[in-house]
Amino acid sequence: MHEVTTEYFDVAIVGGRVAGSSAATHLARAGLSVLLLERAKLPSDTLSTHTIQDLDCLQRLGVLKRVLATGSPPMPRSTLWMDDCDLSVGHPEQPWLSVRRTTLDELLLDTARQAGADVRLERKVTGLLRTDHDGRVRGLRYEDPYGRHLTVSCRLVVGADGRSSTVGRLVGARKYNRSGNERGAVWRYFQDLPAPPEFFFCRRGSDLLLAAPCDQGRVMLSVQPALKETAAYRAPGEIERMFLRRARPWGQGNHEWGDLLADATPEGAANMVLRYACFFRESAGPGWVLLGDASHVKDVVTGQGICDALRHAEQLTARVSHGWGSDRSLDSATRGWWRSKDRDAAPMYWLSRDMGKAGVTSPLYGSFFARIAASPRLKLRLQEVLGRRYGVRRFIAPYRFALVIAAQLRKGEVPVDTTLREAGQLVRTEAARRWAGIRPRYERQRNEQAREIGSERETGAVR
């Protein structure tokens, strides 16, 4: 294998979609020299139903105007149904948006170029360079479209290379907080579907449906049935049939789905995602970090991956700029970012897991949603939770569940042992989840301390 030259950049980013390009933009604006390597030929689509619930991330990145210019209508209202609980709410101050990834990813990449990042497509990263004496990552190896193998040295490698992260594999980053999805997702685009500019989400029995108008006049309709039922919905006309059967009673705005779908023309084949793993990955080490889906993947039902990637890229840049001085301060900065990123992501990760469960809603969650449905203030809060303006744990707080449990016991509509069993399960699950989040860091710290003590002993250092 013939290896060519070593160029130098401060930061080399692997992956050029939402995580990679937003990190490239922020880091380049912070004054660092940035190389972004992406193996695909962009623009191209990727599997996503692309709802964006926090437009401030796009605003801070400086792309909101351009994104709006694509014709994606801001959605100032969400029609949300959990069985018979109407959680619909208007949020004109914080509208949502849905932009197909071919469009969004290209705009973000262009912004990175404008910020000064060196963006190179069709470059596949294949290896990492490390210093001999301590194994610190100090660059990477990649292959260009002409089959040449090139190397780049840098102070920080950012793996923004998605759920099957190459960087994660090369540094041996372990996974934790593992779970799986119980629903698949099937979605399709429609032209000439006169849906109002509103987000539509409805879970009824074991069915889950969503819809959103997106760029260039298209509307995306998605069905998220239990995994074993998914394949049936891929057949032409099935998504429409599901909306007519299950969502018709509620319609969208003042319209019935039957009217809306009457003249709609499906565009392209249905997209489908079946089983996928949900997890967190160790996200920082000497000379490397993992960002976006490379660092954690959650159930897609809450549609949070894009904004998480944008927000975490921004926070990473602030930490890296602050710690850039020495390798030691840089490592401490990236480890600090990893901790704060996990604190930020874990509650939504578990909420997504709960909301994405297959089957019917449990009595306890049913009562919880009924409580929200009865209060306009709580409905708005739920919207703020999804828009990441209000903490998940503050909203789904133990005291709120205690109130629901007490009311359920008082009313006696649900057998006492069912309520108590569900309450006990809730407490055990929450405790296990919190411990699962802490354990890897605790173990890693213990291992690092053991290594330090070992090396000090070897060199005869005195503590």
Ligand X SMILES: Cc1cc2nc3c(=O)[nH]c(=O)nc-3n(C[C@H](O)[C@H](O)[C@H](O)COP(=O)(O)OP(=O)(O)OC[C@H]3O[C@@H](n4cnc5c(N)ncnc54)[C@H](O)[C@@H]3O)c2cc1C
Q: How many residues does the chain have?
A: 463
Q: CB of residue 286 vs ligand X: minimum separation in angstroms?
A: 20
The answer to whether residue 285 forms part of the interface with ligand X (CB under 6 A) is no
Cβ-based nearer residue to ligand X, 98 or 408: 98
DSSP code of residue 275: -
**Measured in whole angstroms, how far is the alpha carbon of residue 33 from the centre of its chain?**
27
Listed in sequence order, the residues at least 6 apart from 59 whose beta carbon sits closer than 8 Å to its beta carbon are none
Cβ-based nearer residue to ligand X, 291 or 364: 291
The answer to whether residue 240 forms part of the interface with ligand X (CB under 6 A) is no
**387 three-class SS:** coil
Residues 182-221 vs ligand X: string with x where CB under 6 A? ---x------------------------------------
Site for ligand X in 421-450 (CB under 6 A): none
Q: CB of residue 59 vs ligand X: minimum separation in angstroms?
A: 16
Q: How far is CA 428 from CA 279, 409, 425, in A?
A: 20, 20, 5
Q: CB of residue 9 vs ligand X: minimum separation in angstroms?
A: 15
Cβ-contact 271, 239 below 8 angstroms: no
Cis, peptide link before residue 249, omega less than 30° from 0: no
Residues 37-76 vs ligand X: string with x where CB under 6 A? xxxx-----xxxxxx-------------------------
Cis, peptide link before residue 43, omega less than 30° from 0: yes
Cα(201)–Cα(230) distance, integer angstroms: 18
Tokens at 421, concatenated: 């069993």
Cβ-based nearer residue to ligand X, 48 or 383: 48
Cβ-based nearer residue to ligand X, 230 or 252: 230
Residues 109-148 vs ligand X: string with x where CB under 6 A? ---------------xx-----------------------
The answer to whether residue 309 forms part of the interface with ligand X (CB under 6 A) is yes
Cβ-contact 106, 42 below 8 angstroms: yes
Residues that bind ligand X (CB under 6 A): 14-20, 37-40, 46-51, 124-125, 160-162, 166, 185, 273, 292-294, 300, 303-307, 309
